[in-house]
Structure 1
Amino acid sequence: MDRNDSRPGLPTQRRSAARLRAVPSHEPAVSFRVIHGYRRAYRIAGSGPALLLLHGIGDNSSTWHDVIPRLAATHTVIAPDMLGHGLSDKPRADYSIAAFANGIRDLLSVLDIDSVTLVGHSLGGGVAMQFTYQYPELVDRLVLVCTGGITREVNPLLRMASLPGFARAVRLMRLPGVAPAVHAAATAARPFTHHLHDADDLMRIVSSLPDAENRTAFVRTLRSVIDIRGQVVTGLDRCYLAEAMPVQIIWGEHDSVVPVSHAPLAHAAMPNSRLEIFGNSAHFPFRDDPERFITVVEDFIASTAPHEFDHARWRRLLMDGMSDRALKGNDWTRSAVLDAMGSAERSAT
């Protein structure tokens, strides 16, 4: 576990916080907006500065159920179902992380929100990094939870799911007795392989794909970020642009979906980041240990000032490019970051 010692001044509220409609209950209410002809679902609760929660692949906004009420005591919490997920529409559309970032930008515009503290889990972490790259002026702070988009390694089951035939396999899981049998087998095998630490949550996600429309959207999303070799996009080559962005990285030590070895790489690549490893958690630390998760997020927000975008500085960084001097950590970590960025198999988003 590693935390930066720097503690900038207390955050100042931006004008968006004053304009946000107060949602009296701390329990999230599901709302809908139609944007570009597609229905977008989101949960909203609380009042105050905006805090946006982005779920992972195949998941939906209900995954944040254990943490929204507490966070909503001091913030307006918005948790969308990204397009193709949950109660949002599932069109034949672009499911790349750049497209998801555009969709989040449009939702914030419709809700009249100028800036947010952005929390992204797994795929949502990759979307959060992409959103920060595309719209840095809209991000106050960034919280990355077991994020995708660092380097290639990912659970072998997800790599296999990118192959043809996965949708048919999921359809078989809907047959009576099949899902319980698979779950029992995974539970029995869990002591013998770390790849099954998150089996319960992965089964929950697969079980939430009830029809062909849901399965197709899941597969299209998966193939935009994963193939048989692993993750196919990385944000490491652009993390240096977030040098002034307060970043909190959270990872579960037993993560079987995106390995915890990615955490120090992300920490080294993001100059203004802190890192928390949850020793008793896997890929869903906000579900495994919600109290600690809330405490870390609240402490991070309370001890950092919102990012102020400097266009001139951004332009200079783009012109100068990344220097290895910007990387933190020991020689091995710095070398691993540079190797991941320079791999011929990697493609930036």
Structure 2
Amino acid sequence: MKKRILFSLFSLVLTSLAAQEKISETVTYHLPVKTIKLNSETIAYADEGSGEETLLFVHGLSSNLDSWKKNIAGLSSDYRCIAIDLPGYGKSSRSKTDYSLSEYAGILNEIVEKMDLKNVVLAGHSMGGQIAMHSVLKYPETYKKLVLIAPAGIETFTAQEATIMKASYTPAMLVGASDEQVLANYKMNFYSFPEDAQAMVDDRIAMKSAEDFQDYAETVVNNIHAMLEEPVIDEIGKIEIPVLMIFGKNDMLIPNKYFHPSESIASLVKTSEEKFNNIAVKTIDEAGHFVNFEQSEKVNKEIRDFLE
């Protein structure tokens, strides 16, 4: 009886310890991770390869630096490749939950300055693309070229649409999502869900038991608000550096199918070519929103061609 009680108590202790894990301890990466201390945050990053140019990769909403692993594997033989976790994500710190895109742009600039990076090519996926555009506009001398992969910020929303979207995404919804819902949401990012993307799903499910998951959920929702509140489309004509934009031809997330059923990737391409001064736009067949992961070899080739 005593042994049974002791075993039960031991099990409770283990359960308690597991529940105390933070997200930074639950996520698993395929790249070696370092950290750099900034003024207000500690940033986790991967740093692979070397070359005259440095590719600085910025992940999208609810993602992390490991989402770039295939691109880094294919490009680090000729370029220095640095992928970061934005504050609030992955293994980086979270000093608050309401980061603006402008603040993220400042973080990127601080990283470039502190690491003394030269010939920086900024690459962003989805929300990371919108952050990248803000970064180039705010710090035009910092970056040499810009790579935008399925970027947010090109599609525009009315005030009414933005209000509906804000009301539709809540921290409670993220916290309460079942494992099946998590998987379904990830599958929407792909044309054909690849086996190695299951690791992303597993990490996301494991995160639900982390002690700071509520803060993470609030960060994600606030980032959605920030994307809606900090439009960039009317400013991108001021970007003078060369831009490469890549879309997956079968993207199910942008343009938004609910609000803009008549819009398409082709219409986003047309808008981009009209707004940017110096842009090359590519569309990749059999690829969804996560085109840089799903068709990494094709994306890597486009990036190489752009940089050469």
Identify the TM-score tier after normalising by the shorter chain. 0.7 to 0.9
- Matching of residues 163-174 of structure 1 within 5 Å: 163=167, 166-173=170-177
**Does the alignment pair 1:218 with 2:220?**
yes
Bigger mean CA deviation after superposition, 145-154 or 72-81 = 145-154
Determine helix, strand or coil for the equivalent of 2:60.
coil
2:26 aligns with: none
Give the deviation of 1:214 after TM superposition.
Answer: 1.4
CA distance in 1, matches of 2:148, 2:119: 17
1:151 and 1:234 in contact (8 A); partners too = no
Kindly indicate whether the alpha-carbon contact (under 8 Å) linking 1:249 and 1:267 is maintained by their aligned counterparts in 2.
no
Is it true that 1:30 corresponds to 2:33 in the alignment?
yes
In the aligned structure 1, how far is the partner of 2:96 from the partner of 2:143? 29
Letter in 2 for 1:179: D
The equivalent of 1:86 in structure 2 is 90
Extract unaligned runs of 5+ from structure 2.
1-29, 256-264
Q: How far apart in 2 are the matches of 1:143 and 1:149?
A: 14
- Of the three residues 243, 268, 271, the one matched with 1:265 is 271
2:236 corresponds, among 235, 239, 242, to: 239
One-letter amino acid of the counterpart of residue 251, structure 2: D
1:139 to 118, 143, 167: 143
CA distance in structure 2 between the partners assigned to 1:59 and 1:70 by the alignment: 20
- Alpha-carbon separation, structure 1, partners of 2:306 and 2:131: 20
Given that 2:169 and 2:221 are in contact with CA atoms closer than 8 Å, whether structure 1 keeps it comes out as no
Find the counterpart in structure 1 of residue 261 from structure 2: none
* Residue 206 (structure 1) shift: 5.5
Q: Secondary structure at the match of 2:107?
A: helix
Counterparts of 1:109-258 in structure 2 under 5 Å?
109-152=113-156, 162-163=166-167, 166-173=170-177, 178-180=178-180, 182=181, 204=201, 207=205, 209-210=207-208, 211-226=213-228, 232-243=229-240, 245-258=241-254
Contact kept, 8 Å, 2:150 with 2:248, in 1: the verdict is yes
8 Å CA contact 1:115, 1:137 repeated in 2: no
The answer to whether 1:98 aligns with 2:102 is: yes
Name the CA shift for 1:252/1:91 in 2 (closer, same or farther; >3 Å): same
Select the residue among 54, 79, 93 that pairs with 1:75: 79
* Structure 1 CA distance for aligned equivalents of residues 143 and 207 of structure 2: 32
Number of equivalent positions: 256
TM-score if structure 1 supplies the norm length? 0.66
Q: Give the distance between the partners of 2:284 and 2:147, measured in 1 at CA.
A: 14
Structure 1 residue ranges without an equivalent (≥5): 1-26, 227-231, 303-349
The alignment's TM-score, normalised by the length of structure 2, stands at 0.74
Shift in alpha-carbon separation, 1:208–1:241, aligned structure 2, 3 A: farther
Shift of 1:94: 4.6
1:282, 1:288 within 8 Å by CA — same for their partners in 2?
A: yes
Contact 2:57–2:122 (CA<8 Å) still a contact in 1?
yes
Q: For residue 34 of structure 1, report the CA deviation from its aligned partner.
A: 1.6
Per the alignment, residue 56 of structure 2 pairs with 52
For 1:270, the aligned partner's letter is F
Q: Following superposition of structure 1 onto structure 2, how do residues 310-329 of structure 1 map, counting pairs within 5 Å?
A: none
What are the superposed Cα offsets for residues 164-191 of structure 1, whole Å, 9 maximum, x if unpaired?
Answer: 7722222223xxxx313x368779xx9x
Q: Distance in 2 between matches of 1:167 and 1:239?
A: 31
Q: How many angstroms does 1:163 deviate by?
A: 2.5
Quickly say closer, same or farther: Cα 1:185–1:53, change in 2 above 3 A. Answer: closer
Q: 2:285 aligns with which of 271, 279, 282?
A: 279
- Partners of 1:198 and 1:286 lie apart in 2 by 12
Pairing 1:62–2:69 present: no
